[in-house]
Amino acid sequence: MGALTAPLDGAFVPAPVSGVEAVDADGEIVLVDEVTDRLHLLNRTAALVWQCFDGEASVAEIAFDLADGLGVPFEQILGDTLAIVADLVAQGVCSDGRAGSPDRSFDIPRRSRLLDEPPSD
Amino acid sequence: MTTGWATGDDGLSQVHRQDADEPVAVRRGIDRRSLIKRAAAAGAVAWTAPVIFDSLASPAAAGTCGAIFRVTLQMRDDGNCTALDVLQSTAANYVGNGACNGTASVTPPGQYTETVTDLASSLTLAQTCISLGASANCAANSSAAVSATLVAACTPSSGVTGCSTPLNFLAAAISSNAPNTCEKVQRGGATTTHITGITGTQVDFVQPSSTHPGHSGSYQFVVGCSCTFP
């Protein structure tokens, strides 16, 4: 699971980690983690938040824009956004963009091996 | 890394590989504020707490086995690893002399859904295809390291149908009294104090150093026959 490199507060800069595919289906999103072979189903609100992750904007900046665009109190959105970011970090699909995205490129499996022979260990 | 959106067959779904340095909104030609305003204008998002509905293993991670069997071996007073006694495993009492007594048996990792067959106590150790070496370390009151391996080209001679080689360890457990030890490990999961490693062909134990007689402990193994692995 993911590890925090800094306290998760409004200054946290959420960034999707490599090896995660976002499958958008009519507003909801399924995150497909190719490294862990896990699926994470996000509701519409979480899907919108996820799409705001660019590795540059902080949680507070994202929450401000969400509050402004949706007409919802900033404090409420900030709290909700911090909570979902914490969940996504715990699931290992989001990291702190200020620390750089963790390199998982060597961990991404080649799908064609799934039906091949079992490992030799 | 490959980027870009592709519309799915249903005309709705879109797939995109995320990169930390390639924001979705930017790549789609929409900045964050425009994305939010568009969602608000479309009425697509009435703010509710953002949540992860569910997290689950991908179907692509599923594995299968031709058969799966479970073996329970009782430790001996003399610790002879070549003469461990096969116990009858049951779901409610998989080791009669240890802290796991009365708890459920160790099970395979979740992606394996085949029925697990418990080998009968009438079998000999050799018939289980499991070897723990020739030393005298297999006693509960030992603190030695012990490794279990699978005998090459071996399948249980009775009790399991549809089992063919290769065999692979899928899970293991160790149990003893005083101190109470009841540890279970599945392949791919975290190891424990007394089960220090598990691969397809070897399980590494550290004996629990029980103050009870040397037979007051057991091992249990779940073995898959001709499995595919995610």
Residue A56, domain extent = 14-95
Contacts of B37 in chain A (CB under 8 A): 69
Count the domains in chain A: 1
Please tell me the pTM assigned to this model: 0.53
3-state class of B98 per DSSP? coil
Nearest CA in chain B to A64: B33
Chain B contact for A13 (CB, 8 A cutoff): no
Chain A contact for B213 (CB, 8 A cutoff): no
Nearest CA in chain A to B55: A40
Q: What is the mean pLDDT of chain B?
A: 80
CATH code, domain with A31? 1.10.10.1150
> What pLDDT is stored for residue A9 in this prediction?
92
Judge: B57–A37 Cβ closer than 8 Å, yes or no.
Answer: yes
* A102 occurs within a structural domain: no
Is pLDDT at B161 greater than 80 in this prediction?
yes
Residue B36: phi and psi, rounded to 5, are -70, -45
Contacts of B142 (CB under 8 A, 6+ apart): B79, B207, B209, B214
Which among B190, B126, B188, B1 is positioned nearest to A16, based on CA atoms? B1
Task: Write the pLDDT tens digit of every residue in B176-205.
Answer: 888 888 899 998 888 899 999 999 999 999
* A90 occurs within a structural domain: yes
Contacts of B39 in chain A (CB under 8 A): 48, 69-70
Mutate to test the interface with B, among A114, A115, A117 (most CBs of B within 10 A): A114
Lowest-confidence region among A114-118, B31-35, B167-171: A114-118
| ipTM field | 0.80
Task: Write the pLDDT tens digit of every residue in B104-130.
Answer: 788 898 888 889 998 888 888 999 999
* A114 occurs within a structural domain: no
* A5 occurs within a structural domain: no
Is pLDDT at B84 greater than 70 in this prediction?
yes
Is pLDDT at B156 greater than 60 in this prediction?
yes
